[in-house]
Structure 1
Amino acid sequence: MTKTLSLLALAISVSFAASQTQAAVSAAQAGVLKTTLTPLGAEKAANADGSIPAWTGGLSKPPADYQGPGSHQPDPFAADQPLFTISKANMQQYTAHLTPGQIGLLSTYPATFRIPVYATHRSGAAPQWVYDNTFANATSAKLLEGGNGFSDAYGGTPFPLPQSGVEALWNHIARYRGTYLVRRSSEAGVQKNGNKSIVTSQDEALFHFYDPTGNYASLNNTLFDYMGFNTSPARLAGGGLLVHETLDQVKEPRQAWAYNAGQRRVRRAPTVAYETPVEAVDGLRTVDDTDMFNGSPDRYNWKLLGKKEIYIPYNNYRIGNPEVKYDELLTPGHINPDYTRYELHRVWVVEGTLKPGMRHVYSKRVLYLDEDSWGAAVVDQYDGRGELWRVSQAYLKNYYELPTTWSALDTYHDLQAHTYSVQGLDSEERGSVDFSQPSPGDGGFTPAAMRRKASR
């Protein structure tokens, strides 16, 4: 069970009441997706001083030295040098472009944590069919009652012109990451003294929502299926997890099954949702921390706070370079800044505050969503006293073989305990995510299929 995603005039900063539903935008409003906005709803134009350039289509083809599906992605920006580096000593000059969590990291680790800032490349891109579906979604997609899902949407961004925080959140949850993928990667929990535990697994996922031949109406409330098996360490090898990710998890909670290698049995897993600690990384993140945020939004009131220009992790190809060893990358307190890259990008700011009567370890979480991909790049999380507690960062890059923007790896920091965990490590693996394999269909993600794969 180790592993389980503009128009400022439309950015209405209101919480979404549980009894409301949200209507789609008009055809006239949607027209901006073909003029001043990108096909996914970002601003095409550069910012005022040009430090964020105009979007001109992003990266849509691999570079010449790319070795093919499943291989590590060469860095198309390898020749770039940092423009400057932010540290605790100079961070006051840059606080307008930092999140409270990033300031917290700089303050917690003043001698070692740094933010190397590079020239901004708006590399975000997606296939044309995703753009076409997104345009259709703008005038058809509707939130389900309470904001616990959406209807009348095809495989694309559901709400490219978001009118509420929960719509923007669903854009993150349902963002494009291919249709079927296979990968081998590791995750690690790193203690205050630098001691770490690494778990490696073989994973696959089928994103039903992004079946190019289908639409939401045929999905039976299922967004995606996931299956993963541990390959190391020896004490965990063979154990696995199967998840059927439902859309409306209030109506139908996600279904999960665990495979016990010693007993050779598949059993229904206990709750794999919300604030349940993830055992593989010593409980250093919650289940719904994974992928920056996942699962049902129902425990929070979500507000869309508008846009900001923030230094976020972007175009992080160096992290996955096969020459980078985990021991070099996983340093005490945080990953080694020498291998990271930040750029100035516009982000949507979405704030979730815990509803009265609801339970969660976080009283508030604030997500910073990359405008070009809708992926959360940074998330700040607050404890029951309202104090900043945990900070998550997704080190984004363009998987140009599709193309799509997704994370090279994710980090989850506990500022109070001085611990962190990392998910998505693959520099020591034979390759990276493989999006080219033929899909096994629904039949490849059943308890029976899990048993068969485990016995191979």
Structure 2
Amino acid sequence: MNNTLVRSAMLFGLMTLGCNLAHAKLNAEETARLGKDLTPTGAEKAGNASGTIPAWEGGLTTIPAGYKPEAGYADPFASEKPLFTVTSANVGQYAAVLSDGYKALIKQYPGYKMNVYPSHRTLALPAEEYSRIAKEAPNVELVPGGAGMVNYGSTSVPFPIPKDGLEAMWNHIVRYRAGGTLRYYSQLIVQSSGSFSAVHTEARQAMASGLSNPEPNRLFYYLDMVTGPESLAGLQTLVHEPLDQVKEGRLAWQYNPGQRRVLRAPEVAYDTPELSADGLRTNDSVDMYNGAPDKYDWKLIGKKEMLVSYNNYKLNDRSLKYSQIVGKEHMNQDLVRYEPHRVWVVEATLKPGARHIYAKRRFYLDEDSWNIVQEDLYDGRGELWRVLEAHTLQRYDVAVNFPSSDVGYDLQARRYLVNGVENEEKAPSQFGWKGNLREFSPSALRRSGR
């Protein structure tokens, strides 16, 4: 079975599926494929020839018995055992289905392993969202340069059959969140010794299409507040994200509790370090990738069968302590589940004359959910610097597929950052949260600071 998986992936990796075509709207024939040979989100409905990837049959829509939100998501696959484990001893056998990032982690950390389980295509969105995709996608186009969209309404997959790398990336940026989120989570900053510190955050995000009175040219509104530790508590960041970033750049503000002032923060973008991440993450790596794409040339390499982090219910268990999740050099890999899935591969190369700490970035996007599930980041010398991994989760109670957490490994500093963990937080995340525009104003930021 393992050899079949690798051979299948090698053949599949040669497919480009029209990746180098110029921007073009979906035609009637392409639109008609949605819900037929393609899923409503644009993935191939059929499984692969070897049987290691199943057909999509509607996803996970049944809530498992015993599910209690306060306990975290019950694992519908808890009884399954790993099919095999990738280690430093057999990594060469699986090279064709591993990213360069995973191979580098296994090489640098001999104890790093990947437990591989049966593949389950769990993505399931509400029926009305599938209808919205089919209705809106034929009309959406990228602006020249790809830094925005025109004729966009509220669909979560504007480009179900992407013609280039930027179309695929926009699918990730606007993927379905049920209109808005309220999240309580922590970032775990892990040193090379294995010791760690936790930064606790409360964050709100509202898609502009879900508000009754959004401002013109808005994609979403975002506000987060650090609630601990005491040295960072009270730090707040507010973002008004434009839909067309050629017409208008990102608007951002920060409240600094030490200064007790709200200041414009144009630096909350691109490669400036995220203040609460101890230098381990850039602002445009939040949510794996966000923001204006104008510093890079984007190429859609194609679709490929790979081993990726998927269906991570065990990792989301709220009985876990953060000390059980982190380990020296890397996460507790017994908690991370890997499966064979098809992913779109997108490569971003820094434009001549542009400045960014990452000279090249390679993204792997799940064909079903459009989540970026893995990312390799290269420095100016062309050397692999950081490896990012998202731990996907189908939130079956709200029909949302959104990662439970993500991790970023710095191979040069030998430190890592686990972001978005909710296990020890006071309440689980809410999807479908309804905000209002007043909550996302600089004056509201000032009032909450007081």
- Same structural fold, with TM-score higher than 0.5 when normalized by the shorter chain: yes
> How far has the Cα of 1:255 moved from its partner?
1.2
- Say whether the 8 Å CA contact 2:19–2:162 is kept in structure 1: no
| Aligned twin of 2:47 | 46
- The yes-or-no answer on 1:368 pairing with 2:364 is yes
- 1: CA distance, partners of 2:211 / 2:245: 24
Q: Which structure 2 residues correspond to residues 362-441 of structure 1 after superposition, within 5 A? A: 362-437=358-433, 439-441=434-436
TM-score (norm 1): 0.91
> How far has the Cα of 1:395 moved from its partner?
0.6
Q: Which structure 2 residues correspond to residues 157-306 of structure 1 after superposition, within 5 A? A: 157-209=157-209, 211=210, 220-306=216-302
| Aligned twin of 1:152 | 151
- 2: CA distance, partners of 1:11 / 1:432: 39
> How far has the Cα of 1:97 moved from its partner?
0.7
- Say whether the 8 Å CA contact 2:15–2:302 is kept in structure 1: no
- Say whether the 8 Å CA contact 1:45–1:53 is kept in structure 2: yes
Deviation readout 1:315-374 (Å, 9 max, x if unpaired) = 001112122111121112211101110000000011111111111111111100000001
Percent of aligned positions with the same letter in both sequences? 45
| Aligned twin of 2:3 | none
Deviation readout 1:24-79 (Å, 9 max, x if unpaired) = 121111111021000000001010111100000001243232224x7622212111
Q: Which structure 2 residues correspond to residues 325-336 of structure 1 after superposition, within 5 A? A: 325-336=321-332
TM-score (norm 2): 0.93
| Aligned twin of 1:14 | 20
| Aligned twin of 1:348 | 344
Tell me the SS of whatever aligns to 2:392. Answer: strand
Q: Which runs of 5+ in 2 are unaligned?
A: 1-13
> How far has the Cα of 1:221 moved from its partner?
2.0
- Say whether the 8 Å CA contact 2:176–2:400 is kept in structure 1: yes
- Say whether the 8 Å CA contact 2:16–2:302 is kept in structure 1: no
- The yes-or-no answer on 1:29 pairing with 2:25 is no
Code of the residue aligned with 1:39 in structure 2: it is P
- 1: CA distance, partners of 2:16 / 2:113: 35
Between stretches 424-433 and 38-47, larger displacement belongs to 424-433
Tell me the SS of whatever aligns to 1:49. Answer: coil
> How far has the Cα of 1:121 moved from its partner?
0.7
- Say whether the 8 Å CA contact 1:348–1:370 is kept in structure 2: yes
- 2: CA distance, partners of 1:15 / 1:147: 14
Question: Relative to structure 1, is the Cα distance of residues 258 and 366 closer, same or farther in structure 2, using a 3 angstrom cutoff?
Answer: same
> How far has the Cα of 1:10 moved from its partner?
7.7
- 2: CA distance, partners of 1:72 / 1:449: 32
- 2: CA distance, partners of 1:418 / 1:30: 47
Q: Which runs of 5+ in 1 are unaligned?
A: 1-7, 17-21
Deviation readout 1:174-205 (Å, 9 max, x if unpaired) = 11122121111100221212232211011111
**Count of residue pairs brought into register by the alignment:** 437
- Say whether the 8 Å CA contact 2:320–2:423 is kept in structure 1: yes
Which of residues 417, 434, 442 in structure 2 aligns to 1:447? 442
Code of the residue aligned with 2:58 in structure 1: it is G
Tell me the SS of whatever aligns to 1:146. Answer: coil
- 1: CA distance, partners of 2:435 / 2:204: 10
- 2: CA distance, partners of 1:10 / 1:116: 29
Tell me the SS of whatever aligns to 2:134. Answer: helix
Question: Relative to structure 1, is the Cα distance of residues 267 and 213 closer, same or farther in structure 2, using a 3 angstrom cutoff?
Answer: closer
> How far has the Cα of 1:15 moved from its partner?
8.7
| Aligned twin of 1:19 | none
Question: Relative to structure 1, is the Cα distance of residues 212 and 39 closer, same or farther in structure 2, using a 3 angstrom cutoff?
Answer: farther
